Structure 1
Amino acid sequence: MFLDRDQFKPAAEMMLARDKTSIRVTITDQKACELGEAVYAWITADGKPVRIGTCGSSAGKRLLSYPGYINRSLAGHGGTTPKWEALKWLGLLTAHGMLTAVVHQPEPRLTAVGLIRPYLDVERQLIRRHRPLLNRSHR
């Protein structure tokens, strides 16, 4: 696995909907989805990250937002997900059957301004290391 299993906990699953032309996300661990200031990754069954991101408040809210953006783009209604990216999501789900979202909330670190949770730094390092297919920017 590309991400540390001891730190990243499975939280949700992404699959094709019955119509095979749209996607759906199901929460599998409510406690993991309640984490904020966290890093998440959508991974294949063999643990390869295809998208790495962060959430400021609720991981579950962020993970559940994916179908709306992707399905809107697939239906030709535009939005924040480009069509090429939505098609790649569809292709990955067709090839793999399912993607799993894993979530990690880093421990706070003492800095000059007080305790800070370094989730943005962790995201940046993971994106740089793994270069996920569906990250548009490689911070």
Structure 2
Amino acid sequence: MFLDRDKFKPAAEMRLARDKSSIRVMITDQKVCELGDAVYAWITANGKPVRIGTCGSSAGKHLLSYPGYINRSLAGRGGATPKWEALKWLGLLTAHGTLTAVVHQPEPTLTAAGPIRPCLDVERQLIRQHRPLLNRSHR
């Protein structure tokens, strides 16, 4: 596995819908999905990250938003996800069957402004290290 299993916990799964033309996300661990100020990654069955990001509020809410953006783009209705990226999501799910979302909430670090969770720093480091296929910007 490319990400530390002791830190990153499975939270949700992404699969193709029955018609194979759209995707869906199912929560697999509600407690992990309640975490906020967290780093998440969509990974293949062998643990390779294909998308790494952060979420401010609940991880579950953020993960559940993926199908809406991707499916809207696949249907040709535009939106935040470019068509090329939506097609790559579709291709990955066709090839792998399932992608798993794993979530990690970094420990707070004491700063002059008080304690903060270094989510963006962790995200930046992981993106630089893994160069995930579906990250549009390499922070």
Regarding TM over 0.5, the answer is yes
Structure 1 spans left out of the alignment, 5+ residues:
none
Residues 59-98 of structure 1 correspond to what in structure 2 (within 5 A)? Answer: 59-98=59-98
Identity of aligned residues (%): 88
Deviations 1:82-128 (A, max 9, x none): 00000000000000000000000000001111101101110000000
**Cα RMSD for the two superposed structures:** 0.3
Residue 44 of structure 2: aligned partner = 44
Residue 99 of structure 1: aligned partner = 99
TM-score, with structure 1 as normaliser: 0.99
State the alpha-carbon separation in 1 of the partners of residues 103 and 69 from structure 2.
20
* Alignment coverage as a number of residue pairs: 139
Deviations 1:55-87 (A, max 9, x none): 001100000000000000000000000000000
State the alpha-carbon separation in 2 of the partners of residues 114 and 77 from structure 1.
43
State the alpha-carbon separation in 1 of the partners of residues 96 and 22 from structure 2.
15
State the alpha-carbon separation in 1 of the partners of residues 61 and 121 from structure 2.
21
Deviations 1:21-53 (A, max 9, x none): 000000000000000000000000000000000
Secondary structure at 1:79's aligned position in 2? coil
Using the TM superposition, give the Cα deviation of residue 7 of structure 1 relative to its aligned residue in structure 2, in angstroms: 0.1
State the alpha-carbon separation in 1 of the partners of residues 67 and 80 from structure 2.
12
State the alpha-carbon separation in 1 of the partners of residues 116 and 22 from structure 2.
38
Structure 2 spans left out of the alignment, 5+ residues:
none
Paired letter, 1:91: G
State the alpha-carbon separation in 1 of the partners of residues 38 and 57 from structure 2.
8
State the alpha-carbon separation in 2 of the partners of residues 60 and 92 from structure 1.
21
Secondary structure at 2:41's aligned position in 1? strand
Paired letter, 1:98: T
TM-score, with structure 2 as normaliser: 0.99
State the alpha-carbon separation in 2 of the partners of residues 74 and 86 from structure 1.
6
Residue 30 of structure 2: aligned partner = 30
State the alpha-carbon separation in 2 of the partners of residues 52 and 35 from structure 1.
16
State the alpha-carbon separation in 1 of the partners of residues 33 and 120 from structure 2.
18
